[in-house]
């Protein structure tokens, strides 16, 4: 490949300073995070009484948000590991986007679970007195593991790019140059290093798949290991995982579209990427729909007394608007958009992605709250407020603040590091050219 072409690709993919929209975006996110922090300080000083949760609905939108974060973080393993191991090359430009979504989401999953604790200052008890038989401890173990494996899967492929960034000293600020040097100055790009790194990536890719399945399966078990109608289901692990891949893939499409627009990456994140991710999303939405049919149709056929109130509440009762909204926006409409070739163009695919993400958030809400409002024994001898759940402004502020925080991490990451792997793109372009040359000039 010509030097100038290489130069062109590298310069295209270098991280860019925020423009005006970028600054506004960061400002809004920071403001939302601050508001969340203020609300959390209020909660710390007054106790969980500032939330809308009470004895019956003892888990609310914090836990929904936790499940949502864990779900969306699974996409890191899908794009980086599953597609990499199956030798799919078109997804290379998307790996880093997927991996940073995974890292930021799993970070905020851990934070939001601490927010939900009545006694966050006793967090150390989990290590001091942890009991292996509790699914919460399983969750602590697998989420920690997933966090570190994801960090490594983000960092190791980043090293060659860091070496490139160091070379562009004149184009980066002094502070950033120090960051790059600290993180990547040992990368010499020699064959020994490349071989170790690719081996490491392979091992991590294999490792992360069971760990990813574990984090969301265990998260589903937080519910499925109880007796309650709506949670007492053997379908839950698979139901959660399929939903997780769906929302994660939706999130990647949204991020792809935004980065493509903001950084003018049309040459690297092409229409064909949207086309392919669109097809992946349709497959995942159908899969999730299938598990939903299992989850609701089978108990609804029997209408056991304990399940009846819960199911009717979802289908036609109090929660019906949210339920049907979630089903249609997270699955049915995206499928209808993306099943057509025209629907897989960037803009409609982006809209479908947003619908998937929003619908999936409300789906998580429905997994947590309605079940808690239908206990086995009737809700008696409690104040009227205990029989409903309306999240307070503090809860919304904290939940939205955590979502903003996750997006802020992604935004800042893309400001500092190339969001599309430079070295891997160069290598693949070279390979492709080499391949074409050998075809063009038969020996």
Which of 2, 3, 87, 131: binder of another protein (CB under 8 A)? 131
Q: Among 123-131, 236-244, 271-279, 424-432, which window interacts with another protein (CB under 8 A)?
A: 123-131
> By CB under 8 A, is residue 306 in contact with another protein?
yes
Whether residue 52 contacts residue 389, with contact meaning beta carbons closer than 8 Å, is answered with: yes
At how many degrees (to 10) do helices 61-73 and 191-224 cross?
A: 150
> By CB under 8 A, is residue 317 in contact with another protein?
no
Give the number of other CB atoms < 10 A from CB of residue 26: 16
C-beta of 370: minimal distance to another protein in Å? 13
- Residue 269 tokens read as 């994140």
Q: Which is nearer to another protein, 325 or 386 (by Cβ)? A: 386
Q: Please give the DSSP secondary-structure letter assigned to residue 342.
A: G
C-beta of 361: minimal distance to another protein in Å? 21
Give the number of other CB atoms < 10 A from CB of residue 198: 12
Q: What whole-number distance in Å separates Cα of residue 38 and Cα of residue 34?
A: 6
> By CB under 8 A, is residue 48 in contact with another protein?
yes
> By CB under 8 A, is residue 222 in contact with another protein?
yes
List the one residue out of 112, 31, 84 whose CA is nearest residue 208.
84
* Interface size with another protein, residues (CB under 8 A): 49
Q: What whole-number distance in Å separates Cα of residue 103 and Cα of residue 154?
A: 8
Q: Which is nearer to another protein, 129 or 174 (by Cβ)? A: 129
Residues present in the chain in total: 443
> By CB under 8 A, is residue 234 in contact with another protein?
no
> By CB under 8 A, is residue 390 in contact with another protein?
no
> By CB under 8 A, is residue 305 in contact with another protein?
yes
Q: Which is nearer to another protein, 128 or 192 (by Cβ)? A: 128
Q: Among 53-61, 83-91, 153-161, 428-436, which window interacts with another protein (CB under 8 A)?
A: 53-61
Mark out the alpha helices in 303-392 (DSSP H runs): 305-315, 320-327, 333-338, 346-372
Give the number of other CB atoms < 10 A from CB of residue 276: 17
Q: Which residues bind another protein (CB under 8 A)?
A: 46-49, 51, 53-56, 58-59, 116-120, 122-123, 125-126, 128-131, 133-137, 140, 222-223, 225-228, 305-306, 372, 375-383, 386
């Amino acid at each position: 490949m010509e030097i100038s072409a290489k130069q062109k690709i590298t310069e295209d993919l270098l991280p860019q300073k925020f423009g005006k929209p970028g600054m506004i975006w960061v400002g809004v996110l920071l403001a939302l995070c601050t508001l969340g922090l203020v609300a959390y300080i209020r909660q710390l000083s007054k106790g969980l009484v500032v939330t809308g949760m009470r004895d019956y609905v003892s888990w609310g939108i914090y836990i929904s948000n936790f499940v949502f974060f864990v779900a969306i973080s699974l996409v890191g393993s899908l794009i980086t590991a599953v597609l990499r191991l199956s030798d799919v090359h078109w997804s290379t430009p998307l790996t880093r986007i997927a991996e940073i979504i995974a890292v930021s989401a799993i970070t905020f999953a851990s934070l939001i679970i601490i927010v939900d604790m009545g006694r966050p200052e006793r967090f150390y008890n989990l290590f001091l007195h942890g009991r292996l038989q509790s699914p919460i401890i399983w969750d602590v173990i697998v989420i920690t593991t997933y966090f570190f494996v994801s960090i490594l899967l983000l960092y190791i492929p980043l090293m060659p790019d860091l070496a490139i960034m160091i070379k562009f000293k004149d184009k980066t600020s002094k502070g950033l140059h120090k960051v790059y040097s600290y993180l990547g100055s040992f990368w010499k790009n020699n064959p020994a290093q490349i071989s170790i790194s690719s081996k490491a990536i392979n091992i991590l890719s294999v490792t992360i798949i069971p760990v990813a399945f574990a984090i969301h399966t265990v998260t589903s078990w937080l519910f499925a290991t109880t007796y309650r109608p709506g949670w007492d289901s053997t379908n839950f692990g698979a139901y959660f995982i399929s939903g997780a891949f769906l929302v994660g893939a939706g999130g990647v499409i949204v991020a792809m579209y935004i980065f493509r627009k903001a950084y003018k990456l049309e040459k690297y994140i092409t229409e064909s990427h949207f086309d392919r991710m669109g097809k992946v999303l349709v497959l995942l939405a159908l899969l999730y729909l299938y598990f939903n049919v299992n989850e609701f149709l089978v108990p609804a056929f029997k209408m056991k007394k304990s399940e009846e109130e819960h199911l009717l509440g979802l289908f036609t009762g109090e929660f019906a608007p949210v339920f049907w909204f979630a089903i249609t926006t997270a699955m049915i409409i995206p499928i209808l958009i993306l099943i057509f070739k025209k629907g897989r163009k960037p803009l409609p695919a982006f809209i479908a992605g947003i619908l998937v993400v929003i619908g999936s958030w409300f789906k998580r809400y429905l997994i947590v709250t309605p079940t808690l409002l239908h206990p086995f024994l009737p809700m008696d001898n409690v104040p009227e407020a205990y029989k409903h759940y309306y999240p307070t402004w503090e809860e919304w502020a904290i939940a939205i603040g955590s979502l903003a925080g996750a997006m802020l991490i992604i935004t800042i990451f893309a400001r500092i590091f190339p969001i599309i792997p430079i070295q891997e793109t160069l290598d693949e372009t070279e390979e492709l050219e080499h391949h074409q040359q050998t075809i063009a000039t038969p020996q």
